[in-house]
Amino acid sequence: MSRYDYTLVGAGIVGLASAFKLKQAKPSAKVAIVEKESDVAAHQTGHNSGVIHSGVYYKPDSYKARLCLQGYAELLEFATQNDIPHKICGKLIVAVNEAEVSRLAALQERAKANGLDGVKRLGAEAAKEIEPYVECKEALYVPQTGVIDYKVVSQRLKKLLIGGGVDFYFDESVLNISHDRSGVTALTSKRSLQTKYLINCAGLYSDKISEMDQELRPQEFSVGSGDDLLAGRSEIRILPFRGEYYDLTADAAGKVKGLIYPVADPAFPFLGVHLTRGIDGHVEAGPNAVLALRREGYRWNQLNIDELFESLTWPGLRRIGANHWRMGLEEVWRSISKPAFLSSLQKLVPSLTAEDLVVGGSGVRAQASHKYGELLDDFCFEESSRCLHVLNAPSPAATSCFAIGAEVAKRALTSEVNL
């Protein structure tokens, strides 16, 4: 049986950056990463918008606000040191009616509270100087926002980790974990790994890994009902929200110089479909947000009955449905109707036409939902004596990966001292 100091589940950018930070803090540590796919960045990390977020949206002092700003700086430093192409192009948040104009003011306040300099309100003409094809009442310009390819960052991290002696176990799923006197045993589809400490960065399946941790279960007894206990459910469930993209044709791509966003609805954790000129120069439109029919369901025809049943019967989803049914229906309609998707984009750039859009890729967000409430707004970590579970790491977790990694390493090292 192989023995490690730290074993991480999941080779997305959060698992990779956490292993990197652990090795930086304790170079002698024996570290393993178990990943069910054949390479790094196979799910959320390899299917995102590639935006380096500035931290404008997040509640001051929340994990998202703190770790996004800290992670932003570390990501840029890492990219510079490792010659990873990236660009700080700034972004324009576009208000097209009076209600949105008043929300812009709130966003500007939040940017200030989060310590961002140089975020400025622009009138319609000044906005056009940055994005000539935009039509708006007012806009907010955020100079810090940029673009990068997170797959490239992940590949670089993999190389550095392998160079630092980290063992990768690809094509291997963690099926169970159990605590014993000397540590934790992770049973994978191919072997047993003995580890002093286990770190769960399994993204869309992070709730499933946390449910395997017997030490977390007693907490459910105190808050859950008998039925929940019998069902073996924890209080947090990952709901998979697919985001679909269109690509702009080469001719139409000239209508977008950088990043153009709508004013996000503060009641919802998603930012609304936007236009992004990626680091490779091609322009994407999206992503929308529809409940996926399986956790790794990238298209409508990818269905897993058990996973869908679990999502639909989750009390938290019913609550979200009750509060946001109109937005949910609009999102489904925008997913199946190209004219509806186009009409959202035309609010930002009115001259876009259906011919400018070709079907693009998609990604699935791992969005945690509390059983008795809403979608979890902030990043979420849960700990037992020898396990740390990263239970909610949606956007801007790619931007924040090094700061999340530092938080994970700090908790793991402190916990080890206390054992």
Contacts to ligand FAD by CB under 6 A: 9-15, 34-37, 42-45, 47-51, 53, 173-174, 201-205, 243, 287, 363-365, 393-399
Least Cβ distance, residue 348 to ligand FAD (angstroms): 17
d(CA 210, CA 207): 5
Least Cβ distance, residue 419 to ligand FAD (angstroms): 24
Q: In the complex with ligand FAD, which residue's Cβ is closer, 11 or 275?
A: 11
Q: In the complex with ligand FAD, which residue's Cβ is closer, 138 or 376?
A: 376
Residue of minimal Cβ distance to ligand FAD: 12
Q: In the complex with ligand FAD, which residue's Cβ is closer, 67 or 134?
A: 67
d(CA 186, CA 193): 5
Element (H, E) at 284: strand 283-286
Tokens of 405: 């990694």
Buried b (16+ CB within 10 A) or exposed e, 37-53: beebbbbbbbbbbbbbb
Q: In the complex with ligand FAD, which residue's Cβ is closer, 188 or 224?
A: 188
Least Cβ distance, residue 314 to ligand FAD (angstroms): 19
Buried b (16+ CB within 10 A) or exposed e, 263-277: bbeeebbbbbbbbbb
Of 252, 210, 124, which Cα lies nearest the Cα of 393?
210
Only one residue has tokens 């020898």, namely 386
Q: In the complex with ligand FAD, which residue's Cβ is closer, 16 or 136?
A: 16
Q: In the complex with ligand FAD, which residue's Cβ is closer, 233 or 274?
A: 274
Least Cβ distance, residue 404 to ligand FAD (angstroms): 8
Helical pair 150-163 and 13-25, crossing angle rounded to 10 deg: 40
Least Cβ distance, residue 209 to ligand FAD (angstroms): 6
- Pairing between strand 138-142 and 120-123? antiparallel
Least Cβ distance, residue 229 to ligand FAD (angstroms): 23
